[in-house]
């Protein structure tokens, strides 16, 4: 058991509401500088609440201490290795926080006249151009708020595209390896999900795809590299099959970090792509957001993109040269409409743009090269250390930026499950990989080291897994009861779901 | 090597040897040759930190922010003061950098903050079940519509015309996928009036205060919705709820809203957060993450993500929503802000805004050529009608460093001469007086008629 990285003060477990005492306060209001009018005159009693909301009553020092202590009960990416597969937990550059906080960005009102928000619109336009180049698809909407929101946008774009051609299609194909957001999105967009299988090499089963790609299929949603961390070697044939029945090909950009500057979804024949700016483009994950999920599309999908669209306009030449300005274009008669308020998560765009500007073309390519190098190196290290005897690779191939292992032999031979291994890692100050996903791998463990980790960190992780397996051979209970050194130990999730307590009784 | 990667030439050689390949290119052998990009991306070369800073600063300076003018813009996001403590807390790596708390033993900080946030949102809305956040206000309305669709399965929504235009449009976009229709109710004197409702309505959706700043009388609207067997959904602005009867007490089944005004930056529209609260009866249809209290094996209190069988990563195509990443960090800012205001402070703040708003409204209404669009009760926003071309008045105000408000004609073509004016606690009496002076002069110089007030 290693050093505690968290706070263990005795009263850590109190909530901010439990720290409350009547009469304490942190807020001092500004002066009332206008003539005071009776409340009843301004707001009829019938529309007022009977008593003030029971918010905490705590002075500033205690609020700050409370949340600082809470923070120390979180594990974070700046403290330790976080190889959480499919989440791309790469370093979030500090510069981005500084530039996003500049008042010209942070205090810009979303309804400001576009003529007075030219810096923001130029930034958005340049980001659109960069994302178009990276994806190989020419038109970009920055509006969606996260990956799953981008997915919903993409499927609604598909619907609009087909309806415009007078076609009514009812099904969307998703591989059995897909993120849960894919099938959930399909349902939410009003289609029926049809699952496509995976072949013995970890690729989409082309026979199954051919059988299921019928004329009533609207779209295939594909993650490439897949959630197994494998590049679809049959992507060219997949493209022919899907387009052959008039369906669109949708690229889930969750794994874009593997291929930036190496190959492009547009060149593979994808019609619609979403990006996770909180994965490949370093927006901090924030413990569950914010993110952003822009989409890029082919020419034939462009008319349907959400409103408004950031555009570059050139005004009539005066004295020889036209004046360029940037604007929000609402005049898009075939648009699917809005998917959210205002123009999107602009603060996220600032960070993503700063990242692209910092790295440039060769830097982005290097990101993907090192992400893939690190993943393959870690896989090789684990293999050399004998770990794969207990945790074999789900598919014996070179991987891309992540790889899936199966803990089934470990469970059988060492009597510890993937969950136990994950929980034991917590005692060593390492965030576990993604567990029990992809669903098609028994006792799955999905490991994504990312490009920002050093070789030494990868070596240490490999040694740590060896150590845990060795320890389990002697005493499996250590892992089964793990974690031992965290602020709380294993929590009763079943009880929480059976009788949900989702707020504090006040 | 980029400044965020660490592979030296020696590392590279040894790592490739360990893998058993000759080059990095070999690692990409699975990508068909025809699909390889045989050139560099057409992007500018990478630049140093200070150069990137300078560029981003220049872009920031090309915007007119609320620090650069006296801004009366509102319409869904507001220029509130954000206490310094929020930045200092939400910038801590422990809150800024983790993923969604799938490993609760090392995520108690984030999970407990979610639980505290949910408690605060429940208290404000008067509804027992809050989730941990959705994207933002208008998509929260869409998410509430989806719950109503799942719950009722009827083919129409009836929405107030004073529901934020972005909310109406977002709902319509999503409803298109469900084969549902969005029907508009009407407005009378600034208040929503419902048509007769038939059995085809899944939900009635209104906003409190509405887009024009008016405090709606929710109870009769809720009763009408319920009488037709529809859900009643209220999109609300969280700060005014300090004074207003909570939507839950007025009969709302779901309350959603835009959380920006709770300690979040304007950020040109995002990221902020959306909140989502509902009745117990709808608990298992609520979208997104929910933190719940439980105990660990030693009997210590702890928090976990709960009711996960609603969610996409477990239930896949039968999930109640596709949402995964939401806006946890922004919701954290929200609960810190509400703790900073506290029980007395939130009332004081909103009363202050209401007093200044009343003052501004009275002063503006006294001007020649300016009238109120309605005289219903308001909290921190109201609409005025100008007897002068709006564009010229706005341009003239800008010359004096004032942004007088949002021209609602962009969303309501019948109201091209109307301006929505927001008065947060940031707008002092002196600034309001200046607005009255400058706007009054601009209207006087551009009057259409010569009518004089009695």
Domain-embedded: residue B56: no
Q: Are residues B31 and B94 in the same domain?
A: no
Q: Is B422 helix (H, G, I), strand (E, B) or coil?
A: strand
Is the model's pLDDT at A321 over the cut of 80?
no
The predicted model gives B352-363 an average pLDDT of: 98
Same domain, B35 and B89: no
Query: B216-224: which pairs have CB atoms within 8 A and are 24 or more residues apart?
Result: B216/B160, B216/B162, B216/B191, B216/B192, B217/A46, B217/A47, B217/B191, B218/B245, B218/B247, B218/B250, B218/B251, B218/B252, B219/B250, B219/B251, B221/B192, B221/B194, B222/B250, B222/B251, B222/B252, B223/B251, B224/B194, B224/B197
B168 domain-assigned: yes
Residues B33 and B121 in one domain: no
Structural domain ending residue among the three candidates B336, B359, B392: B336
Q: Cα–Cα–Cα angle for A86, A90, A94, nearest 5°?
A: 145
Is residue A117 in a domain?
no
Task: Kindly state whether residues A274 and A402 are assigned to the same domain.
Answer: no
- B61 belongs to a structural domain: no
Task: For A89, name the nearest residue in chain B, comparing CA atoms only.
Answer: B99
| Residues of A whose CB is below 8 A from B249 | 49
Mark whether B94 and B213 lie in a shared domain.
Answer: yes
* A18-64 pLDDT tens trace: 999 999 999 999 999 999 999 999 999 999 999 999 999 999 999 99
Which residues have C-beta within 8 Å of that of residue B10, sequence separation ≥ 6?
none
**A176 and A160 both lie in a single domain:** yes
Same-domain status, A32 and A102: no
Residues A65 and A132 in one domain: no
As a whole number, the mean pLDDT across chain B is 97
Last residue of a domain, which of B275, B305, B336?
B336
Same domain, A266 and A133: yes
The reply to whether A321 falls in a domain is no
Domain that holds residue B226: 84-336
- Whether residues B206 and B107 fall in one domain: yes
Task: List, in sequence order, every residue forming a beta bridge with A198; answer none if it has no partner.
Answer: A204
Local confidence band at A4 (pLDDT 50, 70, 90 cut-offs): low
Is B452 domain-assigned? no
- Among all residues of chain A, which has the CA nearest to that of B41? A361
Q: Residue A221 maps to which CATH number?
A: 3.40.640.10
Q: Which residue of A has its CA nearest to B146?
A: A188
Domain check: are B324 and B389 in the same one?
A: no
Q: Is residue A101 part of a domain?
A: yes
Last residue of a domain, one of B313, B336, B359: B336
A279-313 pLDDT, tens digit each: 999 999 999 999 999 999 999 999 999 999 999 99
Report the residue from A278, A344, A497 with minimal CB separation from B270: A344
- The predicted model gives A339-363 an average pLDDT of 98
A278 and A129 share a domain? Answer: yes
Shared-domain flag, residues A278 and A191: yes
Same domain, B96 and B147: yes
Q: Tell me which of B10, B47, B51, B56 to substitute to probe the interface with A (most A C-beta atoms closer than 10 Å).
A: B56
Same structural domain, B294 and B331: yes
The encoded tokens of residue B166 equal 């972005």
Query: A342 and A460 share a domain?
Result: no
Indicate if B74 and B46 belong to the same structural domain.
no
Q: How confident is the model at residue B309 (pLDDT cuts 50, 70, 90)?
A: confident
Task: Name which of B29, B103, B269 is nearest A432 (Cβ-Cβ).
Answer: B103
Beta carbons of A84 and B309 less than 8 Å apart = no
**Do the chains contact at B15 and A373, CB–CB below 8 Å?**
yes
Confidence of residue A320 (pLDDT cuts 50, 70, 90): low
Which residues in chain B are closer than 8 Å to A367, comparing Cβ atoms?
A: 2, 4-5
Domain shared by A347 and A420, yes or no: no
Alpha-carbon gap, residue A472 to B348, rounded angstroms: 60
pLDDT at position A227 is 97
Kindly report, residue by residue over B66-110, the tens digit of the pLDDT. 999 999 999 999 999 999 999 999 999 999 999 999 999 999 999
Q: Is residue B3 part of a domain?
A: no
Residue B394 inside a domain? The answer is yes
A63 lies in a domain? yes
> Same structural domain for residues B162 and B31?
no
Please state the domain count of chain A. 3
Residue A335's pLDDT is 98
Here the CATH number for the domain that contains residue B392 is 3.90.1150.10
Q: Is residue A344 in a domain?
A: yes
* Averaged pLDDT for residues A414-433: 97
Q: Exposed, middle or buried by CB within 10 Å (0-12, 13-18, 19+), for B56?
A: buried
**A123, pLDDT greater than 60:** yes
Verify that A241 and A342 share a domain, yes or no. Answer: yes
The total of structural domains in chain B comes to 3
Q: Please list every residue in chain A whose beta carbon sits closer than 8 Å to the beta carbon of residue B179.
A: 190
Residue A237 has pLDDT above 60, yes or no: yes
Same domain (yes/no): B327, B353: no
Asked if the model's pLDDT at residue A3 lies above 60, the reply is no
**Does B428 contact A30 at a Cβ distance shorter than 8 Å?**
yes
Question: In this structure, what are the phi and psi dihedrals at residue B233, rounded to the nearest 5 degrees?
Answer: -115, 130
pLDDT grade for B203, boundaries at 50, 70 and 90:
very high
Q: Give the closest-approach CA distance of A42 to chain B in angstroms.
A: 6
pLDDT of residue A245: 98
Containing structural domain, residue A440: 361-480
Question: Which chain A residue lies closest to B391 (C-alpha atoms)?
Answer: A113
Pairing of strands B231-236, B201-208: parallel
HSE toward the beta carbon, residue B102, CA cutoff 13 A:
22
Q: Is residue A81 one of the residues assigned to a domain?
A: no
In this structure, is residue A119 part of a structural domain?
Answer: no
Give the pLDDT band of residue A8 (cuts 50, 70, 90): low
CB contact under 8 A, B349 and A29: yes
Q: Are residues A261 and A370 in the same domain?
A: no
pLDDT tens digits for range A125-177: 999 999 999 999 999 999 999 999 999 999 999 999 999 999 999 999 999 99
Q: Are residues B391 and B260 in the same domain?
A: no
- Are A189 and A292 in a shared domain? yes
- Is B167 contained in some domain? yes
pLDDT band at residue A2 using 50, 70 and 90 as cut-offs: very low
In a domain, B208, yes or no: yes
Out of B6, B41, B329, whose CB is closest to A361? B41
Report the predicted TM-score, pTM, of the whole model to 2 decimal places.
0.97
């Amino acid at each position: 058991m290693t050093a505690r990285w968290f706070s263990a003060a005795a009263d850590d477990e109190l909530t901010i509401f439990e720290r409350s005492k009547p009469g304490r306060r942190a807020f001092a209001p500004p002066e009332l500088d206008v003539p005071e009018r009776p409340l009843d005159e301004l707001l009829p009693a019938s529309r007022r609440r009977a008593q003030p909301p029971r918010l905490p009553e705590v002075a500033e020092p205690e609020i700050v201490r409370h949340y600082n202590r809470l923070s120390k009960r979180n594990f974070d990416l700046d403290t330790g290795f976080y190889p959480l597969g499919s989440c791309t937990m790469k370093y979030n550059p500090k510069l981005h926080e500084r530039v996003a906080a500049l008042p010209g960005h942070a205090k810009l009102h979303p309804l400001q006249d576009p003529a007075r928000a030219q810096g923001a619109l130029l930034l958005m336009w340049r980001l659109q151009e960069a994302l178009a180049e990276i994806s190989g698809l020419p038109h970009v909407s920055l509006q969606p708020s996260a990956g799953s929101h981008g997915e919903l946008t993409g499927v609604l774009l598909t619907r609009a595209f087909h309806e415009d051609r007078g076609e009514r299609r009812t099904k969307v194909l998703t591989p059995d390896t897909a993120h849960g957001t894919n099938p959930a999105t399909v349902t939410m967009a009003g289609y029926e999900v049809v699952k496509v299988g995976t072949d013995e090499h970890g690729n989409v089963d082309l026979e199954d795809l051919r059988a299921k790609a019928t004329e009533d299929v609207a779209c295939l949603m594909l993650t490439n590299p897949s959630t197994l961390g494998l590049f679809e070697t049959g992507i060219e044939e997949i493209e022919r099959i899907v387009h052959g029945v008039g369906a669109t090909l949708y690229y889930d950009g969750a794994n874009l970090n593997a291929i930036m500057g190496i190959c492009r979804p547009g060149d593979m024949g994808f019609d619609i792509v979403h990006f996770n700016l909180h994965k490949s483009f370093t927006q901090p994950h924030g413990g569950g957001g914010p993110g952003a999920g822009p989409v890029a599309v082919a020419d034939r999908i462009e008319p349907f993109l959400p409103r408004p669209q950031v555009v570059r306009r050139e005004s009539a030449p005066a004295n020889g040269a036209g004046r360029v300005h940037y604007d929000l274009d609402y005049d898009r008669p075939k648009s699917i409409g809005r998917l959210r308020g205002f123009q999107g998560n602009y603060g996220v765009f600032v960070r993503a743009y700063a990242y692209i500007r910092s790295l440039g073309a060769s830097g982005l390519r290097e990101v993907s090269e090192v992400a893939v190098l690190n993943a393959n190196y870690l896989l090789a290290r684990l293999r050399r250390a004998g770990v794969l005897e207990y945790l074999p690779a789900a598919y014996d191939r070179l991987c891309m930026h992540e790889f899936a292992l199966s803990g089934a032999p470990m469970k059988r031979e060492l009597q510890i499950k993937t969950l136990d291994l994950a929980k034991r890692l917590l005692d060593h100050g390492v965030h576990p990989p993604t567990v029990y996903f992809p669903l098609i791998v028994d006792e799955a463990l999905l490991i994504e080291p990312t490009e920002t980790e050093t070789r030494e960190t990868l070596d240490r992780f490999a040694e740590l897994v060896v150590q845990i397996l060795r320890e389990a051979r002697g005493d499996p209970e250590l892992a089964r009861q793990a974690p031992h050194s965290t602020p709380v130990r294993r929590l009763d999730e079943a009880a929480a779901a059976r009788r949900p307590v989702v707020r504090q009784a006040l | 090597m980029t400044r965020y990667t660490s592979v030296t030439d020696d590392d590279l050689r040894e790592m490739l040897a360990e893998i058993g390949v000759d080059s990095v290119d070999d690692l990409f052998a699975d990508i068909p040759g025809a699909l390889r990009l045989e050139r560099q991306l057409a992007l500018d070369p990478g630049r140093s930190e200070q150069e990137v800073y300078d560029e981003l600063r220049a872009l920031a300076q090309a915007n007119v922010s609320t620090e650069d003018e006296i801004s009366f813009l509102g319409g869904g996001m507001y220029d509130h003061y954000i206490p310094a403590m929020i930045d200092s807390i939400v910038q801590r790596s422990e809150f800024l950098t983790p993923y969604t708390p799938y490993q609760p033993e090392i995520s108690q900080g984030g999970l407990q903050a979610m639980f505290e946030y949910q408690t605060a949102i429940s208290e404000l809305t008067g509804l027992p079940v809050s989730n941990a956040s959705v994207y933002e206000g208008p998509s929260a309305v869409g998410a509430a519509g989806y719950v109503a669709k799942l719950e009722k399965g009827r083919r129409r929504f009836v929405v107030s015309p004073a529901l934020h235009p972005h909310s109406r449009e977002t709902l319509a976009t999503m409803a298109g996928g469900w084969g549902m229709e969005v029907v508009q109710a009407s407005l009378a004197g600034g208040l929503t009036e419902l048509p007769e409702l038939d059995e085809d309505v899944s939900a009635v959706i209104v906003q409190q205060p509405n887009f024009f700043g008016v405090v709606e009388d929710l109870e009769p609207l809720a009763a009408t919705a319920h009488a037709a067997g529809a859900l009643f959904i209220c999109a609300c602005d969280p700060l005014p709820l300090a004074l207003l009867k909570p939507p839950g007490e007025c009969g709302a089944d779901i309350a959603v809203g835009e959380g920006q005004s709770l300690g979040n930056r304007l950020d040109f529209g995002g990221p902020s957060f959306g909140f989502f609260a509902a009745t117990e009866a709808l608990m298992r249809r609520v979208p997104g993450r929910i933190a719940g209290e439980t105990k660990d094996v030693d009997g210590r209190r702890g928090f976990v993500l709960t009711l996960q069988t609603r969610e996409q990563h477990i239930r896949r195509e039968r999930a109640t929503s596709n949402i995964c990443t939401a806006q946890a960090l922004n919701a954290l800012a929200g609960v810190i802000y509400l703790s900073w205001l506290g029980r007395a402070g939130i009332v004081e703040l909103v009363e202050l805004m209401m007093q200044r708003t009343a003052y501004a409204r009275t002063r503006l209404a006294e001007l020649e050529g300016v009238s109120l669009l309605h005289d219903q009760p308001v909290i921190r926003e109201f609409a005025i009608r100008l007897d002068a071309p709006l564009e010229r008045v706005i341009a003239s105000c800008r010359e004096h460093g004032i942004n007088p408000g949002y021209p609602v004609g962009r969303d309501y073509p019948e109201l091209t001469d109307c301006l929505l004016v927001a008065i947060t606690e940031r707008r002092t009496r002196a600034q309001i007086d200046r607005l009255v002076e400058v706007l009054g002069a601009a209207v006087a110089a551009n009057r259409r008629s010569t009518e004089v007030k009695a």
